[in-house]
Structure 1
Amino acid sequence: MALFFFSLNTLFAQIDLKIKGKVTGDTKGFNKIYIVKGQSQDSTVISPDGEYQITITSEAPDVMYFYLQYDSKVKGYVSPFSLFIEKTGTLQLDFDIDKGISSARINGPARSVAYFDYSKSKQSIHRRINKEITSKFGEEALKEGTTNFEKAMDYFEKRETQLNDSLFAKYFNPNGADAPFMLLGRVSRLSLAQLEHNYSQLSAPLKETKAAKQLYEKITSKKDPV
């Protein structure tokens, strides 16, 4: 019992995670990195020598989203990248400004690294499937109204499910603090049986977290839809 309460206290301890790194490439003066959590936003600046640093404070493990001012101003779009805030420590993210945060070399808390790799792999799935489709059905298959469009979309849906299921199985750790967040991201894709099975594997302390309780509510709503 004492060990259980120790685990809970450790899990819910305030997190102060220092995120820092080296950015290569020309920012063209658009040198801000934005961090978003819910309705709140923070930012840090990439220095002239390419270094940046910011400390994120959180009451519990959480997912936050990072995006670059450079993407908005130079590329004309924003592509937020999710980072998992696991525990107090240092997370090193070195990346090329033009390739973006998803290209980063990462070093830090184990589950933060695993979640980064998982998110990065998910981003590449669509590109991989599009290449498979053009190879299988031709360059025009991705255009609505063309002969093979419906076949291509059917292939895309099935292949996306297959690859995402495989990725999830590879990175899901029921004892990892990121586990409830990974499951929340898959609620619409996993069957009720799969969700219940994975939820049942979560450790007792994890089931007491806010994310796990949100997950339980979603599972319950799938059981008894209004």
Structure 2
Amino acid sequence: MKFYTAAIICSSLVASASAQSKIIFKGKVSGDTKGYNNVFTYTGHTTKDTAIISDGAFSIELPYEGPVLQLFYDEYDIRNNGMYQPYGVLIDKPGTYYLTTDITKGFHSTKVTGGKTPELYQSYNDQQSAAFKKVNQQLEKIYGKGWLPETDPNAAALSKSRDSLQKAIIVPMIMSFVKENKDSYVSAFAVVGYARNMMSVDELEKTYAMFSPAVKKTDDAKRVANYIQGLKSSAIGATVKNFTAVSPEGKQFDFASLKGKYVIIDFWASWCSPCRQSFPHMREVYKTFKSNEFEMLSISIDKDKAAWLKAVAQENNPWIQTLDDNSVADKGFAITGVPTTYLIDPQGKILLKEVGFESTKKGPMELKLEELFGKSVPVATTQKKEEKKEVMKAVPMKAMQ
């Protein structure tokens, strides 16, 4: 972690040139910190930098390396509340941005000024929060609360109602926002994140068409386009288009080389705990069905190649390992969370898809393989009748990268 202090630059020309490649956050903090003065900022799930609140102010200076959602949290929330809700500032250009925070209300209540993109992103979050509030209010009218444990007999019905309400309330809000802000990077960022999970292909295509030509050139807009293609390509019954991905040795692995076999394609990442918890059971699956007619292919969505290689070495899985260096996860399979697995038949047709990992019973994938090969795979773990089953849900990609 780095600590930044103010520097005196005599030349305004040097200062201007320096600022062009940096992001500077200047924070103003009110309220009694009770001595908990650290402010942390990160991207993904790795803390990058720390600043100290002094006389009600702090400053953090970072290199600008491209559009980024810079997340903040503070020591005060952790010490006083035992948890924190991060505050995100969306940046698409270098510059100086100003954060105003009442420490007693939590860092997530921060307000940002100094740039159109972060200010608009804050407005989008406010609109999205209001929309989610409407969803929860409707759920509470029906079920008495907006969330139920999986053991509750109404849990499945509540989940279905939530999906329907989100499509009815949140999706129109997002599409209206994009229509009004088609020239803003915020629109592409919003759609490629949580929004795309609740949109139909038709809604996504209509939303993407609203993006201005400049926005369509951004990486996030390209991911939206790839995702639309992936949704169409990865439907059950569709035939997988050939693709390549890089091996740990740096060679391109060609999916076409597996034609004629049943193949499990497993999307995972080194930072995904459910993915790695699933591997012992997957090794049992591989041991049971490995033959000239069956193979497994892991495709990591890691952005950090070194982290991927380290995890590959640690897990030492005996099947084919690759890293997605050609956007296969997006444009080939529309992956939004890991682990996600597909079962492909010998002609390349998609038979099944599973998202997440259930550790205590056989899933549709294992049952289908048992039907095909006439062999039985061991259950992942033994379980007493009184114990509840453990379902490991997929980790959203956007949140973790």
What TM-score range do you get, normalising by the shorter chain?
A: 0.7 to 0.9
Distance 1:141 1:197 in 2: 30
Does structure 2 retain, via aligned residues, the 8 Å contact 1:63–1:181? Answer: no
Indicate the SS of the match to 2:105: coil
- The match for 1:168 is 174
Q: CA deviation at 1:41?
A: 1.4
Q: CA deviation at 1:95?
A: 1.3
Structure with bigger gyration radius = 2
Distance 2:126 2:74 in 1: 16
Taking structure 2 as the reference length, the TM-score comes to 0.46
- Determine whether 1:187 maps to 2:196: yes
Distance 1:62 1:89 in 2: 13
In structure 2, do the counterparts of structure 1 residues 101 and 168 end up closer, same or farther at CA, with 3 Å as the change threshold?
Answer: farther
- The match for 1:11 is none
In structure 2, do the counterparts of structure 1 residues 72 and 157 end up closer, same or farther at CA, with 3 Å as the change threshold?
Answer: same
What is the root-mean-square deviation in Å for CA atoms of aligned residues?
2.8
- The match for 2:26 is 20
Taking structure 1 as the reference length, the TM-score comes to 0.77
Paired residue for 2:218, among 182, 188, 209? Answer: 209
Q: More displaced, 120-129 or 105-114?
A: 120-129
Paired residue for 1:97, among 100, 103, 109? Answer: 103
In structure 2, do the counterparts of structure 1 residues 59 and 203 end up closer, same or farther at CA, with 3 Å as the change threshold?
Answer: farther
In structure 2, do the counterparts of structure 1 residues 147 and 193 end up closer, same or farther at CA, with 3 Å as the change threshold?
Answer: closer
Letter aligned with residue 206 of structure 1: V
Indicate the SS of the match to 1:19: strand
Distance 1:85 1:141 in 2: 33
Indicate the SS of the match to 1:34: strand
Paired residue for 2:60, among 49, 54, 58? Answer: 54
Does structure 2 retain, via aligned residues, the 8 Å contact 1:15–1:61? Answer: no
Sequence identity (%)? 27
- The match for 1:3 is none
- The match for 2:296 is none
Identify which of structures 1 and 2 has the higher relative contact order when contacts are C-alpha pairs closer than 8 Å and 6+ apart: 1
Q: More displaced, 159-168 or 92-101?
A: 159-168
- The match for 1:4 is none
Letter aligned with residue 216 of structure 2: K
- Determine whether 1:111 maps to 2:117: yes
Count of aligned residue pairs for this structure pair = 211
Does structure 2 retain, via aligned residues, the 8 Å contact 1:141–1:148? Answer: no
Does structure 2 retain, via aligned residues, the 8 Å contact 1:23–1:97? Answer: yes
Does structure 1 retain, via aligned residues, the 8 Å contact 2:112–2:118? Answer: no
In structure 2, do the counterparts of structure 1 residues 171 and 43 end up closer, same or farther at CA, with 3 Å as the change threshold?
Answer: farther
Does structure 2 retain, via aligned residues, the 8 Å contact 1:141–1:147? Answer: no
Structure 1: tracts of 5 or more residues without a match: 1-13
Letter aligned with residue 63 of structure 2: T
Does structure 2 retain, via aligned residues, the 8 Å contact 1:63–1:83? Answer: yes
Paired residue for 2:51, among 35, 44, 57? Answer: 44
Does structure 2 retain, via aligned residues, the 8 Å contact 1:86–1:178? Answer: no
Letter aligned with residue 174 of structure 1: K
